[in-house]
Amino acid sequence: MSTAADGMITAGELAGRGPDPAGARRGRRRGQVNTGLVVGLVMTVTFLAIAALSLVWTPADPNAVAPADRLLPFGSPGHLIGTDALGRDIASALMIGARTSIVVAAGAALLGLVLGTVAGLTAASARPFVDETVMRGADILLSIPGVVFALVLAATVGAGVGSTVFALSVFFTPSFTRVVRAAALRVLGEDYVAAAQLYGRNRLFILARHVLPNIFSVLIVQFTLYFAVGILTEAGLSYLGVGVNRPDISWGMLLKEAQETVGVASPLAIWPGLAIVFAVLGLNLLGDGLRDVLDPRLRKRAS
Amino acid sequence: MTDQPVLDVRGLVVRRDDLVAVRGVDIQVRAGQRVGLVGESGAGKSLTALAVMGLLQLGWTTEGQVLHDGVDLTRISDRAFSSRRGRTLSMIFQDPLSALNPTQRVGAQITGVVRRHTEASRDDARAQALELFTQMHLPRPEQMLRAYPHELSGGQRQRVMIAMAMACYPQLIIADEPTTALDVTVQKQVLRLLDAAVQDRGSALLLITHDLSVIAAMCDHVLVMYGGRVVEEGPVREVLRSPRHPYTKGLLESQPTLDNIELEGTARLPSIRGNVPSLHDMPTGCAFRTRCDRATAQCEVVPVLEGDASRAACWHPEPALSQAGRS
Amino acid sequence: MSAETHGVPIIAASGVCQEYKLARRTLLGRRERLAALQDVSFHAMPGEAVGVVGESGSGKSTLTRLLVGQERPTAGVMEHEGRDLWSLDRDGRQEFRRSVQVVLQNPRSSLDPRMRVGSSLLQPLRALHVEVDMAARVREVLEQVGLGTDVLSKYPHEFSGGQLQRIAIARALMPHPKVVIADEPVSALDVSIQAQVLNLLKDLVTELGLTLVLIAHDLSVVAYTTSRVAVMSGGRIVETGRPADLFHHPTAEATQALVDAVLTVENGLAGKALR
């Protein structure tokens, strides 16, 4: 397969060697900037920066009720985006909400990623029986709707950040398991794995030193995309009232509160809505952009 | 034979951004002629073929002309091209499994080609397909028509591909490494069938391969490509008996064949030193000079094809009248 | 270096069979068996270069997997220096892994793309706990395969196929093996590079006294590099002999077919290649 059309393939293959030395070269060689990736990166960094800022500073206390200042419009002095029906500062609430989104969504995605990687690598490298067991287990978990599971969990354990993270990670883990298993199987089929086995490397070494580095780009991309899914799902759960509640603040919860006053002050629902769109769009653009750069196989299939 | 070539490629350049894979290639194929295009990875032979067929992947652009049947193929619309592909020119690929539609029976695929380009009725097309399969010595052709590509062996698939390419009596067939993916024993059968099919229809053949012995068996004219350019061109007998370009000579000498097997263990094959340059660091001037024993300062300038019986692009070619015998 | 019959073969298979179970056709159906190798006996003497040829499906890949100890045969005995491979103790097994090394077909796949070449070269030594001066050994081996030390800090994608195959050969040589098993080592390489790699393998046999087992589909490649060739077909070894004899007086049908299939430039020019 190396002979024909090799010129064509070499360039593409070179572009697929990941973030190490090839990474720097590739951008120059292709001579084109991936717009989606750059926009996504800027949006995501902004989102993360705002969340980080809320740790040290917010314009006001978002839980401080001030009936005198209720329903101030956009651009009011001291309340940049205005206040809600109880006079609480919306800008501050949004900043804290960004933090909650990160804790819940990134936490759940990370937990799902770790569990999914362990399960996926086990399934890919173990005997067929173990593989079948793990994967059918994943199928069963996937067949339970995530939102329903979170509702049940909230009803039994109680709503809150902890149970939301747990519910989401249970929801994410099987998907990660599938992706990791598929990627790992591809690497395990490579000759360098066969070579490593022949000079006596054990399974753990092969998984850690050969498989993990080579599926790392897949993991990064999946994490980014599920981070976005996590934000959406968390917003949905909080909107239903089984996620985050005051004094914690999340965007979904703000949406729920805004809905209660929708006839009085409709714009209230716009701000958390925009925040969700901004964060999710940014992460999705980033994830797709990374996938294009890191995994040329998928790009080829898509075109 | 008319004097108008069925394929006249003039100054073809294929590039992607600043990556130039084909650097000005001229190819003429006359009616009924069999032209071989030899080269290894990065030589640009496959991109040349894809450019001629209008099948380059997104991002690759062409310059120059590809004249076929009085039109410049690089300038006609995709639609106009589609109506020619399979009819006046057709292509045989290296990997028939990916070139055939996996969800359609091979018989349907062949009759599809026939009916798209001719007025044939369903039954006529089917009869033609059956006839083609019989010519290709496919066992039990009736049943074979109803098979899906994955149910066939590699050799059978390639025969189906050839049958499909021959269906409309094309003026020109472009075969890109048609036997590289096949077992050696199957290779010969497939080449034999391709040979007969081209012969029967009087089609011209442009055969792309890395294997000089396939060229020797199938072609009457050969172009040797290296680093995106044609470095030697001429009648097969001339070029392979008395190669003038050091690259062609090196290729011929470095292949283990029946002759040097007699040496058994004692002697070594002469080999071309160095490595095949990648597209990203192609030497300036003559691309072969970094691997060539004869290279001088003069070779930093690109040589042009020169000669009578066979033409070589080399500043220090082998004399034209060298002996036919090889060591 | 010739194939004399005295002494103990360094690697041998006697009466080896290998069967694979196929996947079930139906849920409770019986798993059918596929006999990939049937009663195969094969050996290589120290310092000998032996070839195995056959078409795809002839069983040569299965034989390779058995020779390198990747799979255990369903019947028959695999031996390394006269000792049963599958009843070796831990140390014996380690010694086998050190002294039998493999070079695979596709050099792009046989080196980890995320590992620097230097690190890849040291892997066999580290895995097998070979006590040597690693830096000196790397320099020595790189010189044997004709590469400079500048390759060590690079990644595989920075090399061409021919260079990568040299690196793969270097890795195989690192732990001072006695046997190198090369599975189609040149079929993925460019024509102008194949001769380089074949010459290199040939030199290693003469200069280092290595035993070489070369597996290929191309009779002329095997014949050029080795002094004794086994022809495989349908899971059996159908003929063994000196390459020149096989070429000129093939007795088995499969050998005849392989010889007939060889295309040469001379035959082509004489117009008898396709006859």
The tens digit of pLDDT for each residue in A114-125 reads 999 999 999 999
Round to whole Å and give the CA distance between B12 and B30. Answer: 18
Kindly report, residue by residue over C223-263, the tens digit of the pLDDT.
888 989 999 999 999 999 998 888 888 999 999 988 888 88
Q: Which residues form the domain of C121?
A: 11-23+30-269
Q: In the predicted model, is pLDDT for residue A27 greater than 60?
A: no
Q: Quick count: other Cβ atoms within 10 Å of Cβ A6?
A: 25
Task: Work out the angle between the directed axes of helices B154-166 and B122-135 (0-180°, nearest 10).
Answer: 130
C190 at interface of A, judged by CB pairs closer than 8 A: yes
The pLDDT assigned to B3 comes to 67
Pairing of strands C11-21, C75-80: antiparallel
Nearest C-alpha in C relative to A3: C190
Given an 8 Å threshold on Cβ–Cβ distance, is B258 in contact with C266?
A: yes
Given an 8 Å threshold on Cβ–Cβ distance, is C161 in contact with B276?
A: yes
Q: Which chains touch A (3 or more CB pairs under 8 A)?
A: B, C
Interface test with A, best of C114, C152, C159 (most A CBs within 10 A): C114
The residue among A8, A292, A14, A27 whose CA lies nearest residue B16 is: A8
Round to whole Å and give the CA distance between A8 and B271. Answer: 26
What percent of chain A clears pLDDT 70, i.e. is strictly above it?
84
Mean pLDDT of B14-29: 90
Please tell me which of the candidates A3, A29, A32 has its beta carbon nearest to residue B177.
A3
Q: Which chains touch B (3 or more CB pairs under 8 A)?
A: A, C
Which residue(s) pair with C102 in the sheet?
C181
Kindly report, residue by residue over C173-231, the tens digit of the pLDDT.
999 999 999 999 998 888 888 888 999 999 999 899 999 999 998 888 888 889 899 99
Mean pLDDT of B133-162: 89
The pLDDT assigned to B259 comes to 61
Kindly report, residue by residue over C56-110, the tens digit of the pLDDT.
888 888 999 999 999 999 999 999 998 999 999 988 998 999 999 999 988 889 9
The pLDDT assigned to B99 comes to 84
The helix or strand, by DSSP H or E, that contains position B270, with its residue range, turns out to be none
Residue C1 lies in a domain: no
Mean pLDDT of B21-35: 93
Residue A26's pLDDT band, with cuts at 50, 70 and 90, is: very low
The pLDDT assigned to A239 comes to 86
Q: In the predicted model, is pLDDT for residue B11 greater than 50?
A: yes
User: Given the structure tokens 């650097």, which residue do they identify?
Assistant: B23
Q: Quick count: other Cβ atoms within 10 Å of Cβ B180?
A: 18
The helix or strand, by DSSP H or E, that contains position B314, with its residue range, turns out to be none
3-state SS assignment for residue B40: coil
Residue C4 lies in a domain: no
Kindly report, residue by residue over C117-127, the tens digit of the pLDDT.
999 999 999 99
A67 at interface of C, judged by CB pairs closer than 8 A: no
Residues of C in contact with A209 (CB under 8 A): 115
Least confident segment among B6-15, B121-130, B313-322, C154-163: B313-322
Given an 8 Å threshold on Cβ–Cβ distance, is C69 in contact with A198?
A: yes
Q: Which residue has the higher pLDDT, B98 or A220?
A: A220
B58-94 burial, b if ≥16 CB within 10 A, otherwise e?
eebebebbbbbeeeebbebeeeebeebbbbbbbbbbb
Residue A84's pLDDT band, with cuts at 50, 70 and 90, is: confident
Q: Which residue has the higher pLDDT, B165 or C3?
A: B165
Tell me, what CATH number does C136's domain have? 3.40.50.300
Q: Are C237 and B212 in contact (CB under 8 A)?
A: no
Which residue(s) pair with B281 in the sheet?
none
Given an 8 Å threshold on Cβ–Cβ distance, is B256 in contact with C195?
A: yes
Residue C111's pLDDT band, with cuts at 50, 70 and 90, is: very high
CA distance C56 to chain B (A): 7
C109 at interface of A, judged by CB pairs closer than 8 A: yes
The DSSP output letter for C159 is S
Residues of C in contact with A20 (CB under 8 A): 114, 155
Q: Which residue has the higher pLDDT, A262 or B65?
A: B65
Q: In the predicted model, is pLDDT for residue A58 greater than 90?
A: no
Q: What is the amino acid identity at position B73?
A: L
- Residue C265 burial class via C-beta count within 10 angstroms: exposed 0-12, middle 13-18, buried 19 and up: buried
- Residue A235 burial class via C-beta count within 10 angstroms: exposed 0-12, middle 13-18, buried 19 and up: buried
The residue among C255, C239, C238 whose CA lies nearest residue C247 is: C255
Q: In the predicted model, is pLDDT for residue A298 greater than 60?
A: no
Residue A192's pLDDT band, with cuts at 50, 70 and 90, is: very high
The pLDDT assigned to B322 comes to 46
Q: Are B254 and B243 in contact (CB under 8 A)?
A: no
Residue C15 lies in a domain: yes
Q: Are C46 and C213 in contact (CB under 8 A)?
A: no
The pLDDT assigned to A24 comes to 35
Which residue(s) pair with C233 in the sheet?
C236
3-state SS assignment for residue B147: coil
Given an 8 Å threshold on Cβ–Cβ distance, is C112 in contact with A3?
A: no
Mean pLDDT of B218-247: 93
The pLDDT assigned to B12 comes to 94
Residue B327's pLDDT band, with cuts at 50, 70 and 90, is: very low
Q: Are C174 and A199 in contact (CB under 8 A)?
A: no
Mean pLDDT of B235-258: 88
Total count of domains within chain C = 1
The helix or strand, by DSSP H or E, that contains position A142, with its residue range, turns out to be helix A128-142
The pLDDT assigned to B2 comes to 52
Round to whole Å and give the CA distance between C247 and B262. Answer: 10
Q: Which residue has the higher pLDDT, B42 or C146?
A: C146
Interface test with C, best of A6, A187, A199, A206 (most C CBs within 10 A): A199
The helix or strand, by DSSP H or E, that contains position C43, with its residue range, turns out to be strand C33-44
Residue C149 lies in a domain: yes
The DSSP output letter for A210 is I
How many Cβ contacts (< 8 angstroms) between chains A and C? 77
**Mean of pLDDT over chain A:** 80
The pLDDT assigned to A45 comes to 93
Residues of A in contact with C103 (CB under 8 A): none
Q: Are B9 and B64 in contact (CB under 8 A)?
A: yes
Given an 8 Å threshold on Cβ–Cβ distance, is A8 in contact with B21?
A: yes
Round to whole Å and give the CA distance between A202 and A225. Answer: 33
The residue among B245, B253, B248 whose CA lies nearest residue B307 is: B245
Residue A23's pLDDT band, with cuts at 50, 70 and 90, is: very low
CA distance C171 to chain A (A): 10
C157 at interface of A, judged by CB pairs closer than 8 A: yes
Residue C2 lies in a domain: no
φ, ψ of residue C62 in degrees (nearest 5): -65, -45
Portion 242-261 of C in contact with B at CB < 8 A: 242-244, 247, 257-258, 260-261
Interface test with B, best of C191, C202, C246 (most B CBs within 10 A): C191
Q: Which chains touch C (3 or more CB pairs under 8 A)?
A: A, B
Q: In the predicted model, is pLDDT for residue A18 greater than 50?
A: no
The pLDDT assigned to C264 comes to 84
Q: Quick count: other Cβ atoms within 10 Å of Cβ A260?
A: 11
For B7-225, CATH number out of 3.40.50.620, 3.40.1280.10, 3.40.50.300, 3.40.50.720 equals 3.40.50.300
Interface test with A, best of B13, B15, B19 (most A CBs within 10 A): B19
Task: Work out the angle between the directed axes of helices C134-145 and C191-208 (0-180°, nearest 10).
Answer: 120
The pLDDT assigned to C6 comes to 59
Nearby residues of B282 by Cβ (< 8 Å), 6 or more positions away: B20, B42, B227, B228
The helix or strand, by DSSP H or E, that contains position B243, with its residue range, turns out to be none
Given an 8 Å threshold on Cβ–Cβ distance, is C269 in contact with B237?
A: yes
* Dihedral sign for Cα atoms in the order A168, A174, A175, A180: positive
Q: Are C58 and C221 in contact (CB under 8 A)?
A: no
Domains and CATH numbers, chain A: 77-302 (1.10.3720.10)
Q: In the predicted model, is pLDDT for residue B43 greater than 50?
A: yes
The DSSP output letter for A89 is B
Round to whole Å and give the CA distance between B245 and B289. Answer: 11
3-state SS assignment for residue B75: coil
Nearest C-alpha in C relative to A15: C157
The pLDDT assigned to B139 comes to 86
The pLDDT assigned to C165 comes to 93
Nearby residues of B263 by Cβ (< 8 Å), 6 or more positions away: none
What percent of chain B clears pLDDT 70, i.e. is strictly above it?
94
Nearest C-alpha in B relative to C53: B184
Residues of C in contact with B191 (CB under 8 A): 263, 274
Distances (CA, A) of A51 to A18, A45, A47, A61, A257: 29, 10, 6, 15, 21
Residue C41 lies in a domain: yes
**Per-domain residue ranges for chain B?**
7-225, 242-312
Report H helices in C100-160.
107-110, 117-128, 134-145
A4 at interface of C, judged by CB pairs closer than 8 A: no
Q: In the predicted model, is pLDDT for residue A299 greater than 70?
A: no
Pairing of strands B7-16, B89-92: unpaired
CA distance C252 to chain A (A): 31
Mean pLDDT of C6-13: 87
Given an 8 Å threshold on Cβ–Cβ distance, is B46 in contact with A8?
A: yes
Kindly report, residue by residue over C134-169, the tens digit of the pLDDT.
999 999 999 999 999 999 999 998 888 889 999 999
Interface test with B, best of A1, A2, A8 (most B CBs within 10 A): A8
The pLDDT assigned to B326 comes to 40
Please tell me which of the candidates A194, A201, A213 has its beta carbon nearest to residue C114.
A213
Given an 8 Å threshold on Cβ–Cβ distance, is A17 in contact with C110?
A: no
User: Given the structure tokens 């890191």, which residue do they identify?
Assistant: A294
C188 at interface of A, judged by CB pairs closer than 8 A: yes
Mean pLDDT of B273-292: 87
A213 at interface of C, judged by CB pairs closer than 8 A: yes
Q: In the predicted model, is pLDDT for residue B33 greater than 90?
A: yes
> Which two tokens mark C243?
């390459």
Q: What is the amino acid identity at position B195?
A: D
C227 at interface of B, judged by CB pairs closer than 8 A: yes
A3 at interface of B, judged by CB pairs closer than 8 A: yes
Mean pLDDT of B36-54: 88
Q: Are B161 and B101 in contact (CB under 8 A)?
A: no
Nearby residues of C212 by Cβ (< 8 Å), 6 or more positions away: C44, C48, C49, C50, C179, C180, C181, C182, C201, C204, C205, C225, C226
**Mean of pLDDT over chain C:** 89
What ipTM score was computed for the predicted complex, to two decimals? 0.85
- Residue B162 burial class via C-beta count within 10 angstroms: exposed 0-12, middle 13-18, buried 19 and up: buried
Given an 8 Å threshold on Cβ–Cβ distance, is B247 in contact with C190?
A: no
The pLDDT assigned to A266 comes to 66
Q: Are B268 and B281 in contact (CB under 8 A)?
A: no
Q: Which residue has the higher pLDDT, B230 or B75?
A: B230
The residue among B315, B311, B309 whose CA lies nearest residue B295 is: B315
Residue C3 lies in a domain: no
Residues of C in contact with A26 (CB under 8 A): none
Q: Are C165 and C107 in contact (CB under 8 A)?
A: yes
Residues of B in contact with C218 (CB under 8 A): 184
Residues of C in contact with A3 (CB under 8 A): 190
Portion 24-63 of A in contact with B at CB < 8 A: 29-32
Residue C249 lies in a domain: yes
Q: Are C25 and C31 in contact (CB under 8 A)?
A: no
Q: In the predicted model, is pLDDT for residue A2 greater than 60?
A: no
